[in-house]
Amino acid sequence: MRGRGRGRGMGGPGGGKMQPPFIPHVPFDLVLAEPAFPPVRAVPQETEEAFQAALLKRNQDLTPSEKEANAVTNLVTKAQAVFDNLIVNPGNFDACIEEVRQVGPYKQGTMLTGTNVADFVIVLKTLPTKEANEALGNKVWESLKAKEPKEVLTMVATEKGFDLSNTEATARVQVTTIHPNLKKLEAGLHLDVKHCQAAHSAIKYSRWFEDNAQQPTIKTLVRLLRDLKRRFSGFEPLTPWMLDLLAHYAILNNPMCQALPLTSAFKRVLQLLSAGFFLPGSAGITDPCESYSVRVHTTMTLEDQDLVCLTAQTLLRVLSHGGYKQILGIEGNSSIVTEMSVWDGVVVNPLERAYEKPADVTGEEDMEAEAGDMEAE
């Protein structure tokens, strides 16, 4: 059942029964089970075509305009030139740059309109002190201003690095250090080790996406899922990396080993999440960028996993009764997951949570339970 908690038995002498080994299950997936469940009633062709047209229209609406794309590209080009020059000729800048890499939606080609942001990761050979981070940001700002003094450009240091912004776009820079230095980071003196590790993960994710997810339908589905997360708060716990992997899985992981059409893949994402794909005990998706077996959804708390599942279940019921325009945001609003709606006489009531965290269980213990599952694997 969705969201059911699990006890953790004590093993050994005097500790009661031994807990059985954890064996992750694969939730029901209609695409993988289609040979055993042949369709009894085909969806009308006009309905399928209308849904396909709506998905493509929504993707077009979410794709940045030529003006937006050019604004981001121009800033990226200028910033990249400064970064490359600092690697070759650091001048009076003490910190040495090991690598500069573009990451995130702009690099992947999945950027949403209205979010003119390009992401970079800068890997330093030296320790990333807060002073060095700010000095790097100022150095880049000065170099850009020297080339175009009249341009309105600001630099703001952040806990992860710094942001460079003009009137039309932003270059969001994460600063980290080489792997051997991560153990040397001190709280208060250097950038937070969690942010530095996340920056390295961003590089791995970007490389994986570049090697495995260049299929156009995957990029379209990623953009649609990012918009879905933005409009429905129940999907907020899903990280961009989870959405990338979901889109890749939904389109390419099928018996025919061929890319599914966009309509089928979009439905499949909601079907998978509704069936418990990202719930405790599910095999889910193993992170391809980790050297050990870790399921990506286990970074969410049990409450968040339950919330994602019930949101998907409600949206799937709406979709089954023809409410795709409301789900995509072409019509209506996000209230369809929080308020009752009626579709051709069929009432869809929002689902309630199935999991309630016991009063004596903290979020850390939720994560510990999931960690125990991974250890058992």
Identify the pLDDT of residue 361. Answer: 54
Residue 232 burial by Cβ neighbours in a 10 Å radius (0-12, 13-18, 19+): buried
- Do 34-62+214-376 and 66-211 have matching folds? no
Q: What is the pLDDT of residues 293-324, one digit of tens each?
A: 899 999 999 999 999 999 999 999 999 998 99
Identify the pLDDT of residue 42. Answer: 61
Reply yes or no on whether the pLDDT at 337 is more than 70.
Answer: yes
CA distance 60 to 55: 9
% pLDDT > 90, the chain: 70
* CATH node for 34-62+214-376: 1.10.1410.40
Reply yes or no on whether the pLDDT at 359 is more than 80.
Answer: no
- Pairing relationship of beta strands 170-177 and 117-124 according to DSSP bridges: parallel
**H/E/C letters for each residue in the chain?**
CCCCCCCCCCCCCCCCCCCCCCCCECCCCCCCCHHHCCCCCCCCHHHHHHHHHHHHHHHHHHCCCHHHHHHHHHHHHHHHHHHHHHHHCCCCCCCCEEEEEEEHHHHHCCCCCCCCEEEEEEEECCCCEHHHHHHHHHHHHHHHHHHCCCCCCEEEECCCEEEEECCCCEEEEEEEECHHHHHHCCECCECCHHHHHHHHHHHHHHHHHHHHCCCHHHHHHHHHHHHHHHHCHHHCCCCHHHHHHHHHHHHHCCCCCCCCCHHHHHHHHHHHHHCCCCCCCECCCECCCCCCCCEHHHHCCHHHHHHHHHHHHHHHHHHHCCCHHHHHCCCCCHHHHCCCEEECCEEECCCCCCCCCCCCCCHHHHHHHHHHHHHHC
Identify the pLDDT of residue 26. Answer: 87
Q: What is the pLDDT of residues 230-282, one digit of tens each?
A: 999 999 999 999 999 999 999 999 988 889 999 999 999 999 999 999 999 99
Reply yes or no on whether the pLDDT at 1 is more than 60.
Answer: no
Domains of the chain, residue spans: 34-62+214-376, 66-211
Residue 93 burial by Cβ neighbours in a 10 Å radius (0-12, 13-18, 19+): middle
Q: What is the pLDDT of residues 137-187, one digit of tens each?
A: 999 999 999 999 999 999 999 999 999 999 999 999 999 999 999 999 999
Average pLDDT taken over every residue of the chain: 88
Reply yes or no on whether the pLDDT at 20 is more than 80.
Answer: no
Reply yes or no on whether the pLDDT at 375 is more than 70.
Answer: no
Identify the pLDDT of residue 93. Answer: 73
**What is the pTM for the complete model shown?**
0.87
Q: What is the pLDDT of residues 323-332, one digit of tens each?
A: 999 999 999 8
Residue 373 burial by Cβ neighbours in a 10 Å radius (0-12, 13-18, 19+): middle
Reply yes or no on whether the pLDDT at 15 is more than 70.
Answer: no
Identify the pLDDT of residue 17. Answer: 66
Identify the pLDDT of residue 18. Answer: 73
Quickly name the fold that domain 66-211 has: Beta Polymerase; domain 2 (3.30.460)
- Using pLDDT thresholds of 50, 70 and 90, give the confidence band for residue 40: low
Identify the pLDDT of residue 91. Answer: 73
Reply yes or no on whether the pLDDT at 61 is more than 90.
Answer: yes
Reply yes or no on whether the pLDDT at 12 is more than 50.
Answer: no
